[in-house]
Chain A
Amino acid sequence: MATIELETKSEVLRRIDVSEKVAGKLRYTTDMIEVEALYVKVVRSAMPHAMIESIDISQAKETPGVIRVITSHDVPGENLIGFFTRDQPLLAEDRVRFIGEAVALVVAENPVSAMTAVNSVKISYKPLPAILDIDSALSPDAIKIHEDGNIKESFVIKKGNVESAFEKSDIVIEGRYSFPYQEHAYLETEACLAMPTEGGITVIGSMQVPFAVERAVRTVLGNAVNKVRVIQAPTGGGFGGKEDAPDEVCAHAALAAYLTGRPALLAYNRKESIIFHPKRHPGYIKRKLGATRDGILTALSETIMLDGGAYMSLTPRVIFQSVATATGPYLIPNVDIEGKGVYTNKVPCGAFRGFGKPQSQFAAELQMDELAKELKMDPLELRLKNLIKEGSELPWGQRLGDGIGILQCAIRVKEMAEWEEKRQKYGVVDSKGIARGIGLALAMHGTSIGPLGIDVGSAIIELDENGKIVVKNSLTEYGQGIYTGWIEIVSRALNVDKGLIEVIYPDTSIMYDSGPTVASRSTAVGGRAIYEAAINFKSAILKAASQMIGVKPHRLSLEGDSIKSIENPNNRLSLKDIASMARKNGQTIKGEAWVNMNQGSYWDREKGRGVPWKSYSFAAHVAEVEVDINSGKVNVVNYYAVHDSGKILKRSLAESQVYGGVVQGLGYALMEDLHFKDGKLLSNSFLDYMIPTFADTPNIYVDFIETYNEDGPFGAKGLGEVPIEPVAPAIANAIYNAIGKPIRAFPFTSERVFSALQGD
């Protein structure tokens, strides 16, 4: 692939979407009701686990303003949804499995009528025992939440012989590590507007994966409709939470629109959003790590247990990634790793930035520091002794190629943070009762989806009537700034003005399925498809211009806003002229491309071997904390993050991904968690679900190590997720350094740290 001069210095970048957003002009789903839309409200289960004996909608139907009350009987197609496995009823039939599960829909002229009717639907339940944690789900006499039992999915990776390796190890550290829920807390809650069309339904909504929504709507409407068109509205945040949740939201809205023949809007308030959409998996890890006296890792045995909630959502893939990153970026000759996802009667857990890795890397990285302490060795030195490098063999048999920047990341972050100096100084309590600490964590992250899923990307680039270059790709922008990045790629590939390039919001009726916008793949996969489509577009436009100008294509050059003859630059046509001539000729000028990231990757489940990802991103983070030992309050003061995500296309966009990931990770580490009582979610508003404010945000220093990735556009690898992954363990290790003991469960709330200091 061509290399083009890259911009590496920090520059002030204007994102193309920013002025509309700042001015409040961008129209989100709920701003789009130009039509007389009906309001849809969901009637939800009040029981964590119960059989439904009856649903009485008679009074709700009579509520003034109510147009229709919908139950599972009204679903024309299959009453099932689910991202990979369709295991969740669109509307509950005879059984509910968590508080908040959809049982019926009310469609009304206005929200007040809808709310009133929701409260007058009478559901009579026969309660079943509710399973509210992992261990009760696994107990032999536990009630089965689904027919095939309470284990959703499990993965295993084995190598060598751990038993004998532990026997030969000089030191073995063993522990149980646990981690909380995390809520995505995106700015925009879920929303979808569905409109009946001639023989079909058009759906506009806040989402990450338009083609998944299309499949969900088709499934539930079945043969009742011919055409399903899904358009992504400007979307205010996703972080993985809008990977599968919009399937349900849009299917509900589409069902309401289909049954009433009128446009229908379903939009959640914050409470509904928190109660309903899939979260980051909580759970625990039991981990045993062996090493020699010199600090060479010998064996790892690990069991990962994730609480997946009531339905499958994306649990299988999440578990896979937890298992696949269980070692951390270290060489361990003997491993025995198993991960399980378990059903419980709580909100389902699914995709969330990091996707199973923040959990396993917390355990791995904290345990590394525990080992370092035992060995009386610097934690960084211990890591460097065991670090993977070019040519290393990963536990699943994959041999690493080039572009392994983890060592440079670690060395760079050590300099930036003044690691050695501070490590010597910290760990003492000052006269005000403040203990300072500094901690380190590394992370490793496979680029894109991997062999368990279809990992292809596509793009169409065409010249429209007005001479604009239109980019079509079904990957979604939901706050990352990817359109700005793509425009950069197209403008560099074509050497045209950025102002002439336009990216359109995904619309399933005019684009190919580029796969889900997840797994840090928008630049690495989407960007590469766009780059290749741009190259094809270039030949197409040069060929068309060649006829118009009368000069051979290879004697023409595309530059700025026009195409000109290399020999005679006055012989030129603007893109605008080319567009109007093409229009008269009845010609289309476009380039298309598909890229297949599955090529060369595979996974053998039985043996636990394969090539799950072709390239890996890396990170080395250092956190510096102050712990008030009288209250347990932790303040993160400084934070250093160095990343290898291949070539960086836009430094400022990349930096902002890191800032965002660090702050989201800081919330996860220090304050975020969901509290339940008898299966009922208590922390269902921002009054009680704390996320960090600016006052909680440290100084964040970012740098990049730029390796080159063969498969990405201009050498790029994924960056979206990895910044969140080392944060909780880096903070955990800094607290460990400050107070002298490890805390194996987070979030590190003041109270948790305080009780650790008290000795329990």
Chain B
Amino acid sequence: MKPFQYLSPIQEFEYLKPRTLDEALSIVSKFNGVAKVIAGGTDLTIALKELLVKPQAVVDINGLKEIRYIRDDGGIIRIGALTTFDEIYRSGLINKYARCLAQAAYNVGTWQIRNLATLGGNIANASPAADGATPLISLDAHVHIKSINNERDVPIIDMFLGPKKSALNSNELITEVYFKKDELANCGWARIGRRNANTISVVNVAVNISLADGKYRAARIGLGSVGPTPLYAKKASEYLIGKEASSATISQAAKIAMDESNPISDIRGTKIYRLSMVKYLTEKLLNNLTYGGIN
């Protein structure tokens, strides 16, 4: 009896499963660009099947327990790159200090996808629609990257160079994402999708603010699916800082965020609709975070 072969071609490649980070780093360095790292595999498997990538080796990093954690490191929240969206959404720490990230995590794909998909993979994949990106932008997160003889820290926004193009070199791995714990800050995330679950965002927005004496002490707005990369709405964010909270201010900030975004029209939505939704979601999140209420 002939074993059934899947009807799409399955590529042949070497499969390697390192047990430590160092081992993994030396493997990717040795393969010098012709290996692909696999974490949850929810993006990579599709690319392999569609022959979009043709690696000589696939390096399975799921054995690297050392980069799978969520911890409070005295003032800094650290998330290992291999942490799944399911773990993120269930984490008390994340729900307390980065609710926008928990909300986004809960909306990624389906249960099955969330059980596999990792935060590191979401960043490395560099999709302009990545739901993990906007919350991290609003949290001013940094990404810790390692190679066999180097390590660096990159602000999350600098990770994204273009659609599906990240700042990672082929010999590097993301090991961690971290951001400052801010007891006074409050963040939220929202999206427009084409159905209620398991859908690529037509627009997603994350807003993180902290208020002192009725004024915005800090504000960061992240926008997704409205440009070639996830965007930091710098002007809108800076516009808020120091201003008295009011619905006029909120409305103006949302309008600036809309002007800062640069969406295209595609089958998921037109440019015009996306622009309107950036404004709507930003305004709604700002209102909810400023005046309370649910989002």
Contact = CB atoms under 8 A, between A and B. Distances in A.
The answer to whether A binds B is yes
Interface in B199-230: 199-200, 202
Nearest to B110: A693
Q: Which of B10, B11, B273 has the most CB of A within 10 A?
A: B273
A20 interface: no
A30 interface: yes
B268 interface: yes
Contacts of B139: none
B196 interface: yes
A694 B1 CA distance: 39
A674 to B, nearest CB: 9
Nearest to B7: A267
B194 A33 contact: no
A112 B10 CA distance: 7
B8 A631 contact: no
Contacts of B273: 750-751, 754-755
Interface stretch (B180-188, B233-241, B276-284): B276-284
Contacts of A156: none
A631 B192 contact: yes
B246 interface: no
Interface string B138-161: 000000000000000000000000
A696 B4 contact: no
Interface in B71-129: 110
A208 interface: no
Given A30-B4, A690-B194, A111 B267 contact: no
Interface string B1-25: 1101111111100000000000000
B52 to A, nearest CB: 13
Contact of B276 (A30, A35, A36, A754): A754
Contacts of A675: 267
Interface residues of B, number: 29
Q: Which of B7, B11, B267, B277 has the most CB of A within 10 A?
A: B7
Contacts of B270: 751
A115 B195 contact: no
Contact of A269 (B1, B8, B196, B276): B8
Chain B, interface SS category: loop
B280 to A, nearest CB: 5
A633 B192 contact: yes
Contacts of B267: 675, 682-683, 688
A125 interface: no
Contacts of B197: 693-696
B198 interface: yes
Contact of A631 (B4, B196, B200, B280): B280
A257 to B, nearest CB: 16
Chain A, interface SS category: loop
Contacts of B280: 630-631
Contacts of B110: 693
Interface string A444-469: 00000000000000000000000000
Interface string A742-760: 0000000111001100000
A37 interface: yes
Contacts of A751: 269-270, 273
Contacts, number: 73
B7 A690 contact: no
Nearest to B270: A751
A357 B195 CA distance: 25
Contacts of A115: 8-9
B1 to A, nearest CB: 5
A758 to B, nearest CB: 8
Contacts of A267: 7
Contact of B5 (A31, A111, A683, A687): A111
A755 B272 CA distance: 10
A693 B198 contact: yes
Given A631-B277, A631-B280, A682-B267, A749 B7 contact: no
B1 A34 contact: yes
B199 A690 contact: yes
Contact of A696 (B9, B195, B269, B276): B195
Interface in A38-81: 39
B199 A33 contact: no
Contacts of A688: 267-268
Contacts of B1: 34
B2 A35 contact: yes
B5 A110 contact: yes
A268 interface: yes
A86 B13 CA distance: 46
Contacts of A630: 280, 284
Given A695-B197, A754-B276, A37 B2 contact: yes
29 contacts: A33-B2, A33-B4, A34-B1, A36-B2, A37-B2, A39-B7, A111-B5, A111-B7, A111-B8, A112-B9, A112-B11, A268-B7, A630-B280, A635-B196, A670-B195, A671-B195, A683-B267, A687-B200, A693-B110, A693-B196, A694-B197, A695-B196, A695-B198, A696-B196, A696-B197, A750-B202, A750-B273, A751-B270, A754-B273
Interface of B: 1-2, 4-11, 110, 192, 194-200, 202, 267-270, 273, 276-277, 280, 284
Given A33-B4, A754-B276, 5 more contacts: A34-B1, A37-B2, A115-B8, A116-B9, A631-B192
